[in-house]
A and B are shown apart, each in its own frame.
Chain A
Amino acid sequence: MHSWTSGGELKAIAAVADAFNARGGAWRDAAVAGFDNAGALGINRMVGGQAPSAMAFVAGPALNDLADRGMLTPIDALTGEPDWQSHLPPALMAAVTRGGQPMAVPLNLHEQSLFFWSRAALAKAGLTRVPTDWPEFFATLDAVKAQGAIPLALGGQAWQESTLFNSVLASVLGKAGYEKVYLERDPATILGPGFRLAVEIFGRLRHYVDANSPGRNWNDAAQLVIADRAALLVMGDWALSEFALAGKAAEVDFSCRVGLRDDLAVVGSDVMAFPRARTDAARRAQRLLAEVMLDPQVQHEFARRLGPLPARLDAPVGDLHPCMRHAAGLMRDAATAVPTPYMSLPPDVLGEIDDVIAEFWSDPSMSAETMAQRFADVLRTAT
């Protein structure tokens, strides 16, 4: 059960299904439109005793409750590959491990702080290079604005605003500071000057979006940059498929950077969990599916069609999108990658952080101090 339902996504999941069927499995697809809907339905089915054999999640504490209740099968019981964990990034394994047992198979690595710059929009403003520090960044946006184009293409939905905020936060605080905020929930860092600077930069960006931003879908925001009507999109790697579909070439029509300075990746992961099965046939199918999904070749094919990196570090990346080949080095190196908040915060806390970010974005009268205080309060009172 999963929510990969767009054209490109269907092709990607078909790569897994084909491999599964070729090895003697019988794939029964339960695609549900909408990530949230699929999660709700999956949990309802598990509670009702009609659990799907496999269910897609995002790596992180969203799995914890199910794992704690013994509703998921530990992956070690499914795979015959003894050292499979050593082929995956340690930070990712930590996010899917509960009670010392890995509870899901990581499928891919999503980079979620890509800066997409339209070369044509920059050229029209008389610029030939993408900015690499904040003063130059704002000078660039001002120049684009002066030309009458949209400097920043943003869909005014809470998760998109959070994606933008976390990208800014990672670029301002760097790896150590970012992890102090989201992994250690350190109040001193959140109330400190670095975090406040990130909030202020985020707030300044309000002046660079168009009036039509509220409620816009992410793919519509991507289309603005693809059509060169907007200069910058900050989005996850799934936006690459939109650029590819429009026939846009990396570093010719657009530039992609991992964060502002192209030096720190914010990485999330799609994972597959296996609810406890009731029949031997279902258990056999789960073992086969786990084996297929851990296969580096299958992971590679799934990633090639979907857009991200394969989760396994030993899977080939040679023919992936140039942007991802470029990002792979940063994403696979623990020193230049940080986990998305999804990896460390339970869904209710994550939602409340989204609320704070969205409220700050839509209320220019809220000060950066108030925002930081509210942010710290959410993490402090969360269990």
Chain B
Amino acid sequence: MRERMVEGLFIAPALVLTLVVFVGTMVWTVGLSFTSSRALPIGHWVGAAQYVRLWNNARWTASVENLAGYALAYVLLSLVVGVLLAVLLDRQARFENAWRTIFFYPYAVSMIVAGLVWQWLLNPVVGLQSLFGGAGFAWLSNPRLAIYAVALAGAWQSAGLVMVIVLAALKGIDPEIRRAAALDGIPVWRMYVSLLLPQVRGALVAATLLLAMAAARVYDLVVAMTNGGPGNATELPAKFVMAYLFVRQNVGLASAAATMLLLAVALLLAVGWAARRAIGR
């Protein structure tokens, strides 16, 4: 009993800090989203009016659509490339450590830097387009493709993380399984698809969840690469929140948008939690 109290005493400051700083500000933001606050976080109760205005705002709906496209492309691309890299390294590759470092390295690069690098690579005048002497890479000036160009840059940055997670899980599998599969003459691709990858599904779910959360709050990458353009083709919800909070002087609307993001992340967490329960981990 005594020990319990001492433990509690040690945890208390962190607990109070978490409650006040994280939960407190969250509750405050949700509260502000029901007010008419403009430049300053004071305003009277207006019910759900900000939410109505939010969903009638063309930039917000475009941001949500863009986010869906971005998240899908980014998560899929990161997963596919990351898993492929993990499998290749898992085949007892020579210089495995060196390769692993190289492939993981982009993850150590900040999103701002990644965004600037890809902005130059995809620049129609000095980038890949001129290198390959012609068309095909002017993605950033094409409103339909720009968001996927951003997703490509994001995936370049994150694929290494997926690789590390999946590779670690693959290494943890009992070597007997591989030996048995080799004895039975099962082709290598079959061995991975039917035997090994299902064994690491926990790692795959975790990686997917991490990627989805990263996608939901992506901000710096877009700011560095396109700043939302062309038009609003790469506007994203997080950028919408920043714009209305700090430039467009509408704290109420920004809070409503932030609350929608909070809901989306909470939903993701719930889905991830359910998925992990379902596969028994």
Point out residues on A near B: beta carbons under 8 Å: 36-37, 39-40, 43, 47, 62, 65-66, 69, 71, 156-158, 211-215, 346-348, 350-352, 355-356, 358-363, 374, 381
Given the known interface contacts A211-B141, A215-B140, the answer about A351 and B243 at a Cβ–Cβ threshold of 8 Å is yes
CB atoms of B58 and A359 under 8 A apart? yes
B59 within 8 A of A: yes
Residues of B within 8 A of A358 (CB): 229-232
Q: Which of B125, B230, B244, B248 contacts A156 (CB 8 A)?
A: B230
CB atoms of A362 and B125 under 8 A apart? no
**B244 to A, closest residue via Cβ:** A348
B20 within 8 A of A: no
CB atoms of B38 and A212 under 8 A apart? no
Residues of A within 8 A of B227 (CB): 157, 215
- Mark interface residues in B105-136 (1 if CB within 8 Å of A CB, else 0): 00000000000000100011100000000000
Given the known interface contacts A66-B39, A69-B42, A355-B59, the answer about A348 and B248 at a Cβ–Cβ threshold of 8 Å is yes
Nearest chain B CB to A352 CB, angstrom units: 7
CB atoms of B226 and A214 under 8 A apart? yes
Nearest chain B CB to A207 CB, angstrom units: 14
CB atoms of A363 and B123 under 8 A apart? no
Residues of B within 8 A of A360 (CB): 231
Residues of B within 8 A of A363 (CB): 143, 231
CB atoms of B247 and A351 under 8 A apart? yes
B186 within 8 A of A: no
CB atoms of A214 and B247 under 8 A apart? no
Point out residues on B near A: beta carbons under 8 Å: 38-42, 53, 56-59, 62, 119, 123-125, 138, 140-141, 143, 226-233, 243-250, 253
Given the known interface contacts A47-B41, A212-B123, the answer about A156 and B229 at a Cβ–Cβ threshold of 8 Å is yes
Known: A43-B40, A65-B40, A215-B227. 17 other contacts (CB 8 A): A40-B246, A66-B39, A156-B141, A211-B124, A214-B226, A214-B230, A347-B249, A348-B249, A351-B247, A355-B58, A356-B58, A358-B229, A358-B232, A360-B231, A362-B232, A363-B143, A381-B53
* A36–B59 alpha-carbon span in the complex (Å): 19
**B129 to A, closest residue via Cβ:** A211
Nearest chain A CB to B52 CB, angstrom units: 10
* A351–B244 alpha-carbon span in the complex (Å): 9
CB atoms of A39 and B247 under 8 A apart? yes
Nearest chain B CB to A68 CB, angstrom units: 9
Nearest chain A CB to B69 CB, angstrom units: 16
* Best-buried of A40, A43, A62, A359 by chain B (most CB within 10 Å): A359
Residues of B within 8 A of A47 (CB): 40-41
* A215–B234 alpha-carbon span in the complex (Å): 12
A-B contacts, 13 of them at CB < 8 A, read A37-B246, A47-B40, A157-B229, A212-B123, A214-B141, A215-B227, A347-B247, A347-B250, A351-B243, A352-B57, A352-B59, A362-B233, A363-B231
CB atoms of A215 and B229 under 8 A apart? yes
* A71–B40 alpha-carbon span in the complex (Å): 11
Given the known interface contacts A351-B243, A356-B58, the answer about A362 and B249 at a Cβ–Cβ threshold of 8 Å is no
Residues of B within 8 A of A212 (CB): 123-125, 141
Given the known interface contacts A157-B229, A352-B57, A363-B143, the answer about A39 and B246 at a Cβ–Cβ threshold of 8 Å is yes
CB atoms of B246 and A359 under 8 A apart? no
CB atoms of B39 and A362 under 8 A apart? no
Residues of B within 8 A of A381 (CB): 53, 56
Nearest chain B CB to A36 CB, angstrom units: 5
CB atoms of A65 and B230 under 8 A apart? no
* Best-buried of B42, B58, B226 by chain A (most CB within 10 Å): B58
Residues of A within 8 A of B41 (CB): 47
**A-B CB proximity, top 7 nearest:** A362-B231, A65-B39, A40-B246, A362-B230, A348-B250, A351-B248, A348-B248
CB atoms of A66 and B40 under 8 A apart? yes
Residues of A within 8 A of B39 (CB): 43, 62, 65-66, 347
CB atoms of B231 and A361 under 8 A apart? yes
* Best-buried of A69, A214, A352, A360 by chain B (most CB within 10 Å): A214
Residues of A within 8 A of B229 (CB): 156-158, 214-215, 358, 362
Residues of A within 8 A of B138 (CB): 211
CB atoms of A65 and B141 under 8 A apart? no
Nearest chain B CB to A99 CB, angstrom units: 16
Residues of A within 8 A of B124 (CB): 211-212
Given the known interface contacts A215-B227, A346-B38, the answer about A40 and B247 at a Cβ–Cβ threshold of 8 Å is yes
Nearest chain A CB to B36 CB, angstrom units: 8
Residues of B within 8 A of A211 (CB): 124-125, 138, 141
Residues of B within 8 A of A40 (CB): 245-247
CB atoms of A348 and B253 under 8 A apart? yes
**B230 to A, closest residue via Cβ:** A362
Nearest chain A CB to B105 CB, angstrom units: 27
Nearest chain A CB to B116 CB, angstrom units: 11
* A347–B251 alpha-carbon span in the complex (Å): 12
**A46 to B, closest residue via Cβ:** B40
Q: Which of B42, B58, B140, B233 contacts A374 (CB 8 A)?
A: B58
CB atoms of A36 and B247 under 8 A apart? yes
Nearest chain A CB to B99 CB, angstrom units: 34
Residues of A within 8 A of B125 (CB): 211-212
Nearest chain B CB to A337 CB, angstrom units: 26
Nearest chain B CB to A64 CB, angstrom units: 8
Nearest chain B CB to A41 CB, angstrom units: 9
Nearest chain B CB to A71 CB, angstrom units: 8
Residues of A within 8 A of B143 (CB): 362-363
Nearest chain B CB to A232 CB, angstrom units: 20
* A47–B125 alpha-carbon span in the complex (Å): 46
Nearest chain B CB to A241 CB, angstrom units: 23
CB atoms of A36 and B230 under 8 A apart? no
